[in-house]
């Protein structure tokens, strides 16, 4: 029970990297097909409006007809935008979702027929699936509340007229729009978490580091960004002397120590092989102290095996990091600086912390 609640809490707090998801789809050359599919789905609502205007069930008053024609124009523009223009940025995507939600609800409210309202509920479900794939749980919660409110708005007149059965059918149909998208998003989150984790140490993988660091670097904060690259000294001798199974156990133990010793809010990852990376926001002096704690945590004996680590530290101000794509380019540069400092520490004998030039005023710190 506690594990389930913890998973739900972690899922709810997840800050989905919209750009990362879009880039992942684009890397498989699937973004164009998805854009066209979304645009075609968006043309369903204006098509329904036109059919309503041409049917005997069209609104009698000029206001209702004017609203439907307005929705026809808005729906066509919405669909064409998806097909013709580039993939929207995150803020525009949320605006397009809001337009779709409002348009579908208004069309359903102006239609007296159950068929149109049923199709409207299906369209709200499709919008929810899109939100579950690209946006955070909180955005999906807003869409879900809107869908519930729309269903209640459409069911209220039926209940008032005594047609409780039809109202119940509509609410049950709306249950799919409430249950399916959150369930899908939770599954996406679980699969994404597994994909971004290192299977041996359960730290973030290199891809996971890239994913989670984007949100950390983009978050407003006056504190500088600190990157620590950690490489185990002469780790090959551990595998040669004790075997690869023992080497794996050492990596798991060290990963756990790094996780525990890292400052709160740190992103800790296995960068590759016996190399680890830690990203956190800290003042320069605190970052050097944190790096020393990590070095000491690694150096503690593991049974009969002793391992040390060389640490490279790079610190930059947030102002030096640009937008989302610039953030990723900047991260690579910072990682490169920390990596070069780490190899310099290794060349000096290892078991040391060395700050990259211009990162902070601290000098190299060696083990006593």
Instruction: Give the pLDDT of the chain (368 residues) as one tens digit per residue.
Output: 665 788 888 888 888 889 889 988 998 889 999 999 999 999 988 998 888 888 877 777 788 889 889 999 999 999 999 999 999 999 999 999 999 999 999 988 888 777 777 788 888 999 999 999 999 999 999 999 999 888 888 888 777 777 777 777 777 777 777 889 999 999 999 999 999 999 999 999 999 998 888 878 877 788 899 999 999 999 999 998 999 999 999 999 999 999 999 999 899 999 999 999 999 999 988 999 999 999 999 999 998 899 999 999 999 886 666 555 556 677 888 899 999 999 999 999 999 999 998 664 444 444 33
Alpha-carbon radius of gyration of the chain: 27
269-291 pLDDT, tens digit each: 999 999 999 999 999 889 999 99
300: helix, strand or coil? coil
Residue 274 a catalytic site member: yes
192 backbone φψ class: left, alpha, beta (φ>0; ψ -120 to 50)? alpha
Residues of the domain holding 278: 206-366
**pLDDT attached to residue 318:** 67
Domain boundary among 195, 214, 248: 195
CA torsion angle 238 241 244 249 (round to 10): -50
CA angle 32, 33, 38 (to 5 degrees): 100
Domain count, the chain: 2
Residue 39 phi, psi dihedral angles, 5° rounding: -65, -40
How far apart, in whole angstroms, are the C-alpha atoms of residue 157 and residue 242?
75
Let me know if residue 200 belongs to a domain: no
Query: pLDDT tens, 229-257?
Result: 999 999 999 998 999 999 999 999 999 99
Last residue of a domain, one of 160, 195, 230: 195
Catalytic residue among 90, 194, 249, 274: 274
Contacts of 62 (CB under 8 A, 6+ apart): none
Element spanning 228, H or E: strand 225-232
189, 295: one domain: no
Q: Are residues 103 and 232 in the same domain?
A: no
């Amino acid at each position: 029970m506690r594990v389930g609640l913890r998973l739900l809490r972690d899922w709810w707090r997840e800050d989905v990297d919209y750009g990362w998801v879009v880039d992942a789809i684009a890397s498989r050359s699937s973004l164009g097909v998805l854009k066209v599919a979304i645009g075609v789905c968006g043309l369903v609502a204006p098509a329904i409006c036109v059919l309503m205007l041409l049917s005997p069930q069209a609104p009698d008053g000029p206001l209702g007809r004017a609203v439907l024609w307005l929705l026809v124009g808005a729906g066509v523009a919405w669909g064409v935008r998806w097909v013709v223009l580039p993939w929207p940025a995150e803020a525009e995507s949320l605006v397009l979702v809001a337009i779709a939600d409002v348009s579908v609800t208004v069309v359903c409210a102006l239609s007296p027929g159950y068929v149109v309202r049923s199709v409207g509920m299906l369209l709200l479900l499709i919008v929810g699936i899109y939100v579950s794939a690209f946006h955070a749980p909180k955005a999906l919660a807003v869409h879900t509340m809107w869908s519930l409110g729309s269903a209640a708005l459409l069911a209220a007149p039926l209940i008032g007229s005594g047609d409780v059965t039809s109202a119940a059918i509509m609410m049950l149909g709306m249950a799919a729009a409430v249950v399916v998208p959150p369930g899908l998003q939770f599954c996406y989150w679980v699969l994404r978490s597994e994909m971004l984790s290192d299977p041996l140490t359960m730290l973030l993988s290199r891809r996971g580091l890239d994913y989670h660091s984007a949100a950390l670097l983009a978050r407003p904060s006056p504190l500088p960004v600190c990157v620590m690259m950690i490489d185990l000294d002469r780790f090959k001798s551990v595998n040669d002397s004790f075997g690869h199974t023992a080497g794996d156990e050492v990596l798991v133990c060290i990963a756990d120590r790094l996780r525990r010793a890292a400052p709160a809010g740190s992103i800790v990852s296995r960068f590759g092989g016996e190399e680890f990376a830690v990203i956190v926001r800290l003042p320069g002096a605190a970052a050097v102290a944190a790096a020393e704690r990590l070095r000491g945590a690694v150096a503690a004996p593991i049974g009969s095996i002793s391992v040390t680590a060389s640490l490279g530290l790079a610190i930059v101000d947030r102002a030096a990091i640009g937008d989302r794509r610039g953030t990723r380019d900047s991260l690579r540069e910072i990682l490169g600086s920390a990596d070069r400092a780490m190899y310099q520490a290794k060349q000096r004998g290892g078991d040391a912390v060395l700050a990259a030039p211009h990162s902070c005023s601290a000098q190299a710190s060696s083990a006593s």
